[in-house]
Amino acid sequence: MPKSHAGVRALVLGAVAVLLLAATAASPPRAPREFRVCADPNNLPFSNKAGEGFENELARLFARDLDATVSYDWLAMQRGFSRKTLKTGSCDVIMGVPAHYDPVLTTKPYYRTTYVFVYRANGGPRITSLDDSALKHVRIGIHVIGDDYENTPPAQALAMRGIISNVKGYRIVDDYSKPNPPSHLIDAVAHGDVDVAIVYGPFAGYFAPKEPVKLAVVPLSQEVDSISGMPFTYEIAMGVRKDDPRRAAMLDSLIDRERPAIDSLLERYGIPTLPIRVARSAAAGKE
Amino acid sequence: MHCRVSCSSEVRPRQDSGVVPANSHASPNAAVGRSRGILHGQAILAAALAAAMLSPPMISAQSQKGGTLPPGGTDSNWVTPARTYEGTRYSPLNKITTDNVSSLQEAWSYTTGIKDGHEGQPLVVDNTMYMVTPVPNKLIAFDLTKPGPAIKWEFSPPIDVASYGKACCDTVNRGAVFSNGLIIYNVLDNHTVAVDAKTGKMVWRTKLDNVETGSTITMAPLVVGNRVIVGNSGGELGVRGWIAGLDVKTGKVAWRAYHTGPDKDVLIGANFKPYYKSMQGKDMGVKTWEGEQWKLGGSTAWGWVTYDPETKLIFYGTSNPGVWNPDMRPGDNLWSTTIFARDPVTGQAKWAYQMGPHDMYDYDGVNENIVADIPMNGQTRKVIIHADRNGFIYTIDRTNGQVLVAEKFKPTNWATKIDLETGRPVEDSSKATHQGKLTKDICPSASGAKDQQPAAYDPETHLIYTPSTNLCMDYGGIETKYIAGAAYVGAAVRMYAGPGGNDARGEFLAWDPATGKKVWGITEKYPVWAGALATAGGVVFYGTMDGNFKAVSAKDGKELWKTHFESGVIGNPITYIGPDGKQYIAVYSGVGGWMGAIVPGDLSTDDPWAALGAVGAVPDLKQDTKPGGALHVFVLPGS
């Protein structure tokens, strides 16, 4: 039972948690109780096997509230991730998915973040908008994703502006034997391989301060790009199995209750955040 | 189709090729396993058997109307993926005929216990059958002299489990090849392994790429002379595609050709002469891209490789270009969706032909290129026949890459025709795709009018028998996706039945490559995702995703026999002579692969975009079949 909080609400929450965790245990009985997380073992600032990501910390926080310990099913977060982890029952929660991400049931969003520009603070191109004409001339680095019928929003937004030959693609599914593959793009800015990166905020906010040169991290002025129609801000929720609405409701309660702790956690990891707009859980009303 | 072996000392079967049983007696006058008559008694059986094992070169050369057998190949064996170098999947065996096939019975079967898709085909060498399973890519040897299934040994290769998550379209494997006493095949984690065919011990293992970068290998290698030809998969993860030639005895990489980048990387030199102008010039693998996009240019080689002993060229195709979004890669994007002709010894390219300049539909060009000499307008033409994902079947002069015939074989609307002057498709601009823009009713769908499942060529009828798919797609829409912690936006692809509706999502058809016309077709409910086998008995075999395995007449497609398996068929049938002198047919069941991923993956039908749109194409498949792999062997009773 939760120890640090008193009151009826906490007790109810605790009771729900006991129920849910017990149900998970099934046979053979699992003791002590576990908060079972599906996570990528090599993907800071989100998670890694050493438990250094903010999603690791958040899992520990929630587990503590539930009087449980965290256990993991580790898998590189690539195609089939939720199918091979969450859906098999080997774990119960994905700590970060876009709100209303279809393959899973999502909780209410617990943060909203944005794509950013990253450039050298000294002498870098001071770009804040996709419509900045400087983008036609500087060397731009972006993440790209194979040919899975999809690409990152900056890839499309630049392509539709005819900005192509000065764009260098960095594979988000990069060499997984190296730490945190998506961070290679931030390294490229620091090393001067590109002048500016247009990159998902959490990567930039976390890795830019660790580089040997000072980098500027500037949110895009566009929330949705009118030329490409691409969204550049995302609300992030947690994901559970579609037939597990009670767990989603429990997580919704924990998100509400730990709001201040979540905010300070995100800040500590440098995650750029924006005010959450849609605070509704996809699970709401789906008992 | 003459003079194959005798024209090429390099591929002459040798008596010391490691397939001669110690107790066999060579009989130069024996009928080389074609065994037209009925066998009586042990003596005749033994003689036929010995002949089948040995296959003296001269007789073998003359007898092989359906193509050239590699060393160790006999009429009764099946030692290379498509039986012949030419990729014909035609056997001169004729004990099973249109008259008696209806009494075919299952002799034995073996359940693998693996529920992923079972593509490819087994091999038969020296009374032993070899099967490569999907991941974990076990090699299983069955003793055919004992009542089946009699496992001789199992070989489990080392395998990096990280590769499981990288393969795009189920963790399939398309089979092994026999050469020099070795069974050689690819493991998903980018290794080629060679295993002693007799003992099951690993002889060599070569790492060809890094699984951490997203590359995998699923294709079946081909051995030509002393080269093992292997190519990679993984275009959907933005890898740079390649094909390589390994030394058959040591596994050492002798050459590797990339499919994007400067000529020196592509192994394009002075002897390279593409037929069409838009493919001529220096470093076209760089110039037909903007900036450095070619470095992530995909263009892998995960399909079948064939070989023509006469021109001494290998033929294979490359996949779609990377990265997916076509708006990001203006230009023709050479050498994606391209058929290459190369020297197998050096890897040097002789010619190339790109089918889909600036592909925007995911029409990989990896399907098999069947080598055949066909009568056309009173002449015999040396061609390759290639049924592409893009909806056209190409008949191409294999000496120079000139397209002779290119006609639609399934509903196709992204292009009206192939311009034979330029070699380029005449495209319908209203079907062009852009991320974020909805383009409706594109036919065929990304999965293609036909995928890798190979066709067969019959040298008697000069027809190919090919599986096909009748699906169309909507491309576009905006969907939030998620990889590696980064939210990004996907262009969803929805696939659905083409003209004819859900009862006609597949067809098995006979095609005349000389005229570019369909001769007959058998409509199937689901895409036909299994390969074909043609035989001198006039019987053609294929399987369906809902679990039927059928024998039809080569002449008119009339159904002669069928049986039903618990799981659907996406494998390729083979035929051979058993130690008892009888003709056997073997095939895998075990639905899966890209189109069948809904069954083993137990994917939800409420997400029609799953498995790259395949779930939406066959949402009902889960009701009609179950996951689970098996090997099935059939024979006529008595005889």
Cβ contact (<8 Å) for B488 and A150?
Answer: yes
Smallest CA–CA distance from B170 into chain A, residue = A80
Q: Does B292 touch chain A (CB under 8 A)?
A: yes
Give the pLDDT score at B12: 32
Would you say A185 and A142 are in contact if contact means Cβ atoms under 8 Å apart? yes
Position B26 pLDDT exceeds 90: no
- Token pair in block for residue B216: 């995998």
Cβ contact (<8 Å) for B484 and A202?
Answer: no
Residue B466 falls in which region: left (phi positive, over 0), alpha (psi -120 to 50) or beta:
beta
- Token pair in block for residue B593: 């692969």
The answer to whether position B250 is within a domain reads yes
The answer to whether position B495 is within a domain reads yes
Chain A hits for B446, CB-CB cut-off 8 Å, are 149
In the structure, what pLDDT confidence band is assigned to residue B80 with cuts at 50, 70 and 90?
A: very high
The answer to whether position B583 is within a domain reads yes
Position B351 pLDDT exceeds 90: yes
Instruction: Kindly provide the residue ranges of all beta strands, DSSP E only, lying in B377-516, ordered along the sequence.
Output: 379-387, 392-397, 403-408, 415-418, 425-427, 439-442, 456-458, 463-469, 471-483, 486-497, 506-512
What's chain B's Rg over C-alpha atoms? 23
Cβ contact (<8 Å) for B328 and A156?
Answer: yes
Cβ contact (<8 Å) for B323 and A176?
Answer: no
Would you say B320 and B332 are in contact if contact means Cβ atoms under 8 Å apart? no
Half-sphere exposure of B613 (CA within 13 A, CB side): 25
- Please give the positions of B annotated as active site: 236, 320, 362
Taking the CA of residue A195 and the nearest CA in chain B, the distance in Å comes to: 15
Q: Does B516 touch chain A (CB under 8 A)?
A: no
Would you say B564 and B571 are in contact if contact means Cβ atoms under 8 Å apart? no
The pLDDT of B437-463, averaged and rounded, is 94
Q: Give the pairing type, strands B177-179 and B151-155.
A: unpaired
Give the pLDDT score at B476: 74
- Asked if omega into B511 is within 30° of 0 (cis), the reply is no
Chain B hits for A81, CB-CB cut-off 8 Å, are 165, 482
The answer to whether position B526 is within a domain reads yes
The pLDDT of A248-277, averaged and rounded, is 96
Chain A hits for B168, CB-CB cut-off 8 Å, are 79, 148
Chain B hits for A78, CB-CB cut-off 8 Å, are 165-166, 237, 483-484
Q: Give the burial string for B337-361 (b: 16+ CB within 10 Å, else e).
A: bbbbbbbbbebbbbbbbbbbbbbbb
Neighbours of A252 (CB within 10 A): 20
Chain B hits for A146, CB-CB cut-off 8 Å, are 214, 234-239, 298, 322-324
d(CA A284, CA A107): 8
SS3 state at B387: strand
Give the pLDDT score at A264: 97
Would you say B590 and B629 are in contact if contact means Cβ atoms under 8 Å apart? yes
| Burial class of B516 by CB neighbour count within 10 A (0 to 12, 13 to 18, 19+) | middle
Please give the interface size between A and B, counted as residue pairs whose CB atoms are below 8 Å apart: 201
Taking the CA of residue A61 and the nearest CA in chain B, the distance in Å comes to: 20
Chain A hits for B479, CB-CB cut-off 8 Å, are 102, 150
Owning domain of residue B93: 2-49+74-635
Q: Among B271-280, B334-343, B429-438, B515-524, which stretch is predicted with the lowest mean pLDDT?
A: B429-438
Residue B78, CA distances (Å) to A35, B203, B384, B569 in order? 53, 21, 22, 20
- DSSP-derived letter for residue B241 is P
Position A35 pLDDT exceeds 60: yes
Nearest neighbour of A171 by CB, restricted to B296, B601, B602: B296
Mean pLDDT of chain B: 87
The pLDDT of A187-211, averaged and rounded, is 96
d(CA A141, CA A238): 29
- ipTM, two decimals, is 0.72
d(CA B297, CA B320): 9
Taking the CA of residue A251 and the nearest CA in chain B, the distance in Å comes to: 20
Taking the CA of residue A104 and the nearest CA in chain B, the distance in Å comes to: 10
Inter-axis angle of helices A259-268 and A245-257, nearest 10? 80
Q: Does B212 touch chain A (CB under 8 A)?
A: yes
Can you give the pTM of this predicted structure?
0.84
Taking the CA of residue B324 and the nearest CA in chain A, the distance in Å comes to: 3
Give the pLDDT score at B16: 33
Give the pLDDT score at B490: 58
- Token pair in block for residue A286: 């789906």
Would you say B34 and B92 are in contact if contact means Cβ atoms under 8 Å apart? yes
Would you say B218 and B594 are in contact if contact means Cβ atoms under 8 Å apart? no
Mutation test of the interface with chain A: which of B287, B364, B475, B481, choosing the one with the most A Cβ atoms within 10 A?
A: B481
Q: What is the pLDDT of residues A212-261, one digit of tens each?
A: 999 999 999 888 898 888 889 999 999 999 999 999 999 999 999 999 99
Chain B hits for A286, CB-CB cut-off 8 Å, are none
Q: Which residue would you say has higher pLDDT here, A22 or B8?
A: A22
d(CA B200, CA B164): 24
Chain B hits for A98, CB-CB cut-off 8 Å, are 480-482, 487
Chain B hits for A169, CB-CB cut-off 8 Å, are 238, 292-293, 295-296, 323, 328
The answer to whether position B295 is within a domain reads yes
Most confident of A10-14, A66-70, B319-323: A66-70
CATH number of the domain bearing residue B610: 2.140.10.10
Q: Tokens 């002459």 identify what position?
A: B12
Chain A hits for B435, CB-CB cut-off 8 Å, are 150-151, 156, 159, 228
In the structure, what pLDDT confidence band is assigned to residue B65 with cuts at 50, 70 and 90?
A: confident
Taking the CA of residue A247 and the nearest CA in chain B, the distance in Å comes to: 20
Give the pLDDT score at A15: 52
**Which secondary structure element, helix H or strand E, spans residue A246, and what is its range?**
helix A245-257
d(CA B569, CA B450): 15
Q: Among A97-106, A139-148, B143-152, which stretch is predicted with the lowest mean pLDDT?
A: A139-148
d(CA A250, CA A252): 5
d(CA A254, CA A17): 10
The pLDDT of B491-508, averaged and rounded, is 90
Position B443 pLDDT exceeds 70: yes
The pLDDT of A36-41, averaged and rounded, is 94
Q: Does B428 touch chain A (CB under 8 A)?
A: no
Q: Does B478 touch chain A (CB under 8 A)?
A: yes
Cβ contact (<8 Å) for B486 and A166?
Answer: no
Nearest neighbour of A156 by CB, restricted to B213, B436, B602: B436
Half-sphere exposure of A237 (CA within 13 A, CB side): 26
Chain A hits for B493, CB-CB cut-off 8 Å, are 149
Q: Which residue would you say has higher pLDDT here, B64 or B230?
A: B230
Query: Which residue, among B531, B474, B465, B524, has the nearest Cα to B500 in the 3D structure?
Result: B524
Taking the CA of residue A223 and the nearest CA in chain B, the distance in Å comes to: 13
Would you say B118 and B154 are in contact if contact means Cβ atoms under 8 Å apart? no
Smallest CA–CA distance from A168 into chain B, residue = B292
Give the pLDDT score at A31: 55
Quick one: what percent of chain B has pLDDT higher than 90? 71
Give the pLDDT score at B168: 56
d(CA A106, CA A252): 10
Q: What is the pLDDT of residues A110-135, one digit of tens each?
A: 999 999 999 999 999 999 999 999 99
Q: Among A190-204, B204-218, B298-312, which stretch is predicted with the lowest mean pLDDT?
A: B204-218
Query: Which residue, among A151, A152, A155, A121, has the nearest Cα to A140 in the 3D structure?
Result: A155
Q: Does B603 touch chain A (CB under 8 A)?
A: yes
Taking the CA of residue A6 and the nearest CA in chain B, the distance in Å comes to: 35
Most confident of A74-88, B23-37, B53-67: A74-88
Taking the CA of residue B451 and the nearest CA in chain A, the distance in Å comes to: 17
Position B62 pLDDT exceeds 50: no
The answer to whether position B65 is within a domain reads no
Give the pLDDT score at B615: 77
A-facing residues of B in 303-342 (CB < 8 A) are: 320-325, 327-330
Smallest CA–CA distance from A176 into chain B, residue = B212
Domain count, chain B: 1
Position B324 pLDDT exceeds 80: no
d(CA A76, CA A111): 22
The answer to whether position B63 is within a domain reads no
Nearest neighbour of A80 by CB, restricted to B165, B291, B298: B165
Cβ contact (<8 Å) for B327 and A78?
Answer: no
Cβ contact (<8 Å) for B486 and A143?
Answer: yes
Cβ contact (<8 Å) for B490 and A168?
Answer: no
Cβ neighbours of residue B507 closer than 8 Å, sequence gap 6 or more: B410, B468, B470, B521, B522, B523, B524, B528
Query: Which residue, among B154, B133, B246, B160, has the nearest Cα to B202 in the 3D structure?
Result: B154
Nearest neighbour of A46 by CB, restricted to B479, B485, B488: B485
The answer to whether position B523 is within a domain reads yes
**Which secondary structure element, helix H or strand E, spans residue A118, and what is its range?**
strand A111-120
Cβ contact (<8 Å) for B484 and A182?
Answer: yes
Query: What CA dihedral angle connects A29, A31, A37 and A39, to 10 degrees?
Result: -100
Cβ contact (<8 Å) for B482 and A78?
Answer: no
| Burial class of B504 by CB neighbour count within 10 A (0 to 12, 13 to 18, 19+) | middle
